[in-house]
Structure 1
Amino acid sequence: MHPSRDPAGPGQESVWDYPRPPSAEVTPRRVVVEVAGRVVASTDRAVRVCETSHPPVYYVPRDDVADGVLERAGGGSWCEWKGQATYWDVVVDGRRLPAVAWSYEDPAPGYEQLRGAVAFYPGRVDRALVDGEQARPQPGEFYGGWITDEVVGPFKGEPGTWGW
């Protein structure tokens, strides 16, 4: 059973209006990720993935990720829509943040534009910004959505949402 929607105000989107399967569209919004005072990713051509009940996830083209900060992490996961995920550690000035990012190296049909792009968990980095606004992490350890003032929930990952 799905919960009642939070009311959307002017300029806001409800995650309950997002599609399933998810959409994946390039956005000109400025997406910046910082670790230890260093910009590790900055782009105005991220792929914004929106899925019912989830805040957007921003995938940064690998060319817009700082050289040498990503190191392959162990493990992986499977998305029914996008395919096999690869996990990445971020290493900055000797500081290793494990499993901070993920990618789809060989994405499923329909999600080819994610090839060569990396998504970062906003709660596992120091700063995750969308047009200068600090994104808040989607609840739950598994999900990587970026909550900004423009999106309203409730969001998958909050207590009691496993069956959504």
Structure 2
Amino acid sequence: MPETSAANPAPGFLKHPDHKITIEPCDQEVIVERRGHSLAKSRNALILREASYPPVLYIPRQDVALDRLTRLEDNTYCPFKGYASYWSLDGDKAAWSYEKPYDEMSTIKGHIAFYPEK
């Protein structure tokens, strides 16, 4: 978990201080394509690793073709990261981001993650 002065601390870390989340730069170019659509291309992606979950790539918003995605009204809550917003492609949920993450996860602000299985 990144250190921070935490003006907006994650309640998950307060209750579970041993929960481990790491964020580091990805050292490879990341390309996201789906159904013949190029959705993202970046050399500045981040890799988020959390507990036993598979790693997640977060791509800077400026490297994502947001004009090909539709913003959804859906959102979910994570006590470690905050509220997630979602985007779809052709009616299927395709991506998410934490637009106002808790301070400990501020590194992923301005980044979007795509569902790898889709």
**TM-score relative to the length of structure 2:** 0.77
Determine the structure 2 residue equivalent to 1:43: 42
Per-residue Cα deviation, 1:114-149 (whole angstroms, up to 9, x for no partner): 11111000112xxxxxxxxxxxxxxxxxxxxxxxxx
In 2, the alpha carbon distance for the partners of 1:98 and 1:37 equals 15
More helix by share: 2
Determine the structure 1 residue equivalent to 2:98: 104
In 2, the alpha carbon distance for the partners of 1:97 and 1:32 equals 21
In 2, the alpha carbon distance for the partners of 1:42 and 1:82 equals 24
Structure with higher Rg: it is: 1
In 1, the alpha carbon distance for the partners of 2:39 and 2:86 equals 16
Amino acid at match of 2:103: P
CA contact (8 A) 1:27 1:46 kept: yes
In 2, the alpha carbon distance for the partners of 1:29 and 1:79 equals 28
Determine the structure 2 residue equivalent to 1:15: none
Per-residue Cα deviation, 1:54-102 (whole angstroms, up to 9, x for no partner): 1100011011112401221131111111100001112xxxxx1422110
When the two chains are superposed, the root-mean-square deviation of aligned CA atoms in Å is: 1.6
Percentage identity across paired residues of the two chains: 37
Amino acid at match of 2:76: S
Determine whether 1:119 maps to 2:118. Answer: no
Unmatched 5+ stretches in structure 1: 1-18, 91-95, 125-164
**TM-score relative to the length of structure 1:** 0.57
CA contact (8 A) 1:21 1:81 kept: no
In 1, the alpha carbon distance for the partners of 2:109 and 2:49 equals 17
Determine the structure 1 residue equivalent to 2:3: none
Moved over 3 A (4+): none
Determine the structure 1 residue equivalent to 2:31: 32
For the residue of structure 1 that corresponds to 2:117, the secondary structure is helix
For the residue of structure 1 that corresponds to 2:104, the secondary structure is coil
Unmatched 5+ stretches in structure 2: 1-17
